[in-house]
Amino acid sequence: MLNIVLYGRIYMGNRKKIAVFSSNIYEPMVRTMLNGVIKAAEETGDKVICFTSFSDSYSSKIYGKFHLYDEGDVVAIELPDLNDFDGIIKVDQSMNGHAHSCLMKRLSSTDLPVINVGSKEEGLINILNDEDASFSDVVEHVITVHGCREIYHLAGIKDKYFTIERVEAYKKMLIKHGIEFDPEKVYYGTLWRDCGKAALDYFIEQSNKRGHKFPEAIICANDYSAMGIIAACRDRNINVPGDIIVTGYDGVEEAYQGFPSITTSEQPFYQSGYESVYALHRIWDGEKIEGNIRSRGKLMCKQSCGCEPLTTNAVEDIRKLFQGRLDGASYLAQSMINLSLGVSGADTLEDCFREISENAAVDTGFEDMLLCMPHDWNKKRTIDEHFHETDEEMTVVAGFINRESVGKQTFRKKDILPKDLMDSPKPYFIFPIHHLQYYMGYMIVSPEDKTYNKLTMLAWIVNLGCMLDNWRVRQELSSAVRHMENLYNRDMLTNLYNRRGFELFFDEICSDAIASKKPVAVLIIDMDDLKRINDEYGHAEGDYCLCAIAEAMNFAAKNGEICVRSGGDEFTMIAGGYSEDMVSGFADKMREHLDVISKRDKKPYNIGFSMGYCIKVPTSDMGSTAEISEKYLKSADEKMYEEKKKHKTRRSR
């Protein structure tokens, strides 16, 4: 057995299976943490399956109507049977309240070791940024290197644990260097660019009260808040860092791409994800981990504090980066358009799935993609907290592996992945596919490690669910139309066509016959003795006889004949290209089948009929098809009555 020695610890070659729960994998900080998880699992030989939710706390807060989408998105949380895994990693930066509640309920019911990354969760082992040390580094840099004393703090959302820790670090550094902490110098923002203007107005007002034109420095809780402050300064012709030093926090990519680039502390996102796998191994090895694991961020001194001159810029690099992102978003948008048009124009379900497979292979960043669906994906299913306890067959209906198309295959939902993917060392991501709250299945994806706009990628996935639901609705509408047409054109008792059905088909058959100069046959079949059977045996037996006639007509119809119940005890048959021999054969088959039915059902009466027919080649000078049909019916009806008289005469002897 292969032994792996890393960081002084020995890991045996038996592979562990790790369930990772994450939201918004295309968000840069989350993606960086997941990259750390994947790298560590690659080193230890563990199998990682990441169950991904695309709902987030920000959209749900602004758009309350998204709650139905959020309900459907929890399939990523409810899908796996945790008993099939060895450990769990929760990667959380912006999971919405509903998804978070469902996940925590599941985690509370398992005995598996759980490591939480990206947030602080009571009762779990958390791998956290050392907020005290990391944020203190930023504040202390502004004080000791740049000599600032009039320092303000744009804090985060008030009730967040990291907001409290960063305010405390700010306060501690001020006191350490003999600067009085004043709570009036703290403004609580939104952690986004939109709070910049209001925060700057507040800080300038407070600074003016203290006899200063501007604050010397504004320490922001994160990089996006810092971007908002810098934009507000630019709008007011305030120079950064000449008039005000501005710092951020987190080390997101955008912090280095603006002008000025932002002094920040890079949070150890990658290291946190990486350490989460090794924390699980420590637990599996028998170690008891007490408390939380903290990593210190790295101070990055850039232009917004003055450490880098404003003459230093990487405009061309930034331009190329943003052009690449813009191109990626454009290609993905084109893929969405192609997907919508392709699926909308698909004639069959197989065509629909082929369009999905072809579009998913272009400009989405999927190295592997399998669309997996249950047989009743189109039944508007909702899932509940017991979903993971049930098993069902899943079918791979579309997809590719290493860009090569794959055929249909089945596996059990409980297994999550087909066997060859489970045996593969690759990590796989599970993307839920649903329309609002209705579950359809999921995608198994191996995404490229590229930067994709998270909203554009989410739009692609939401669009896929909408397209599948549109297909479902189209099929239901088609079925409803067919049903309505059936009700309109069918006799309810016998399920033969009714008089409207006769008119519809006669028009078609007659027009073809005029063009091809072939004969049209019209037969009128009238049941014998229906009144006597109704009187002696009841109307239920009369209905039985009518249905028996209909059954016999369908039995005899082997050459495209159209069978009609005209009304009461009268039936009609129409056919193109018919001969008198074919008429005789049709009548003989009907009588034979009626004898079989009577004997089979042991009826005390015989079921008979009288028949007349008209066969001739229609011509256009005979009038409209309606006029032609009346001529055929009149001729056939006269012959039918002649035969009925013979039957009555025969019975009276």
Say if strands 264-266 and 245-247 run parallel, antiparallel, or are unpaired.
Answer: unpaired
User: What backbone torsions phi and psi does residue 41 show, to the nearest 5 degrees?
Assistant: -65, -35
Q: Measure the CA–CA gap between 220 and 189, rounded to whole angstroms.
A: 9
Q: How far apart are CA 47 and CA 41, in angstroms?
A: 7
pLDDT tier at 317 (50, 70, 90 boundaries)? low
In this prediction, residue 494 has a pLDDT band, given cuts at 50, 70 and 90, of very high
The percent of residues above 90 in pLDDT, for the chain, comes to 62
Indicate the range of 247-251, 280-284, 287-291, 311-315 predicted with least confidence. 311-315
Q: Is the pLDDT of residue 14 over 60?
A: yes
Q: How confident is the model at residue 329 (pLDDT cuts 50, 70, 90)?
A: low
- How big is the chain by its Cα radius of gyration, in Å? 38
- Looking at the predicted structure, is the pLDDT value of residue 407 above 80? yes
CA 359 to chain centre: 15
Please give the sequence-ordered ranges of beta strands (E in DSSP) within 3-68, or none if there are none: 4-6, 9-11, 17-23, 47-53
pLDDT of residue 3: 34
Least confident of 154-168, 315-329, 473-487: 315-329
Please state which of the ranges 8-17, 123-132, 492-501, 577-586 shows the lowest mean pLDDT. Answer: 8-17
Position 322 scores a pLDDT of 58
Q: How confident is the model at residue 63 (pLDDT cuts 50, 70, 90)?
A: very low
User: If pLDDT is split at 50, 70 and 90, which confidence band does 53 have?
Assistant: confident
The CB density around residue 177, as the number of other CB atoms within 10 Å, is 14
Q: Are 20 and 79 in contact (CB under 8 A)?
A: no
Whether residue 139 is predicted with pLDDT greater than 90 in this model: the reply is yes
Lowest-pLDDT choice from 3-7, 57-61, 278-282, 341-345: 3-7
Give the chain's mean pLDDT: 87
**pLDDT tens, residue by residue, 454-477:** 566 777 888 888 888 888 888 788
pLDDT tens per residue, range 568-592? 999 999 999 999 999 999 999 999 9
* pLDDT mean over 493-513: 92
Confidence class for position 325, pLDDT limits 50, 70, 90: low
Widest Cα–Cα separation across the chain: 131
Distance CA 171, CA 180 (A): 8
pLDDT for 197 equals 97
Share of the chain above pLDDT 70, in %: 90
Q: Give tens-digit pLDDT for 189-207.
A: 999 999 999 999 999 999 9
pLDDT digit string, tens, across residues 521-531: 999 999 999 99
Q: CA–CA distance from 342 to each of 345, 444, 456 (Å)?
A: 5, 21, 19
pLDDT digits (tens, 9 = 90+) for 277-291: 999 999 999 999 988
pLDDT in tens, 417-462: 999 999 999 999 999 998 888 999 999 998 875 555 556 677 788 8
**pLDDT for 6:** 37
In order of their start, the domains of the chain are: 131-269+296-313 (3.40.50.2300), 499-652 (3.30.70.270)
Pure H helices in 345-453: 349-360, 419-423
Does 13 score more than 70 pLDDT? no
Residue 507 banded pLDDT, cuts 50, 70, 90? very high
- Quickly tell me which residue has 């991904």 as its tokens: 52
Is 50 exceeded by the pLDDT of residue 18? Answer: yes
pLDDT of residue 82 exceeding 60, the answer is yes
Q: What is the pLDDT of residue 5?
A: 35
In sequence order, what DSSP letters do the residues of 560-625 get, joined into one string?
S-EEEEEETTEEEEEEES--HHHHHHHHHHHHHHHHHHHHHTT-SS---EEEEEEEE---GGG--H
Average pLDDT over residues 602-609: 92
Q: What is the DSSP string of 167-215?
A: HHHHHHHHHHTT----GGGEEE--SSGGGHHHHHHHHHHHHHHTT-SS-
Q: What is the pLDDT of residues 160-190, one digit of tens each?
A: 889 999 999 999 999 999 999 999 999 999 9
Kindly tell me if the per-residue pLDDT of 416 is higher than 90: yes
* Element holding 103 (H helix, E strand): helix 97-108
What is the pLDDT, as a whole number, of residue 2?
Answer: 32
- What torsion, rounded to 10 degrees, do the Cα atoms 255, 259, 260, 265 define? 10
> Band of the pLDDT at 4, cuts 50, 70, 90?
very low
Rounded to the nearest 5 degrees, what angle is found at the Cα of 473, between the Cα atoms of 471 and 476? Answer: 110
The pLDDT tens digits of the residues spanning 208-239 come to 999 999 999 999 999 999 999 999 999 999 99
pLDDT of 321 strictly over 80: no
Mean of pLDDT values over 512-538:
94
Res. 485 pLDDT band, cuts 50 70 90: confident
**Using one digit for the tens of pLDDT, what is the confidence trace for 355-406?**
888 888 877 778 899 999 999 998 989 888 889 889 999 999 999 998 888 9
Which of 17-21, 250-254, 586-590 has the least mean pLDDT? 250-254
Average pLDDT over residues 71-99: 87
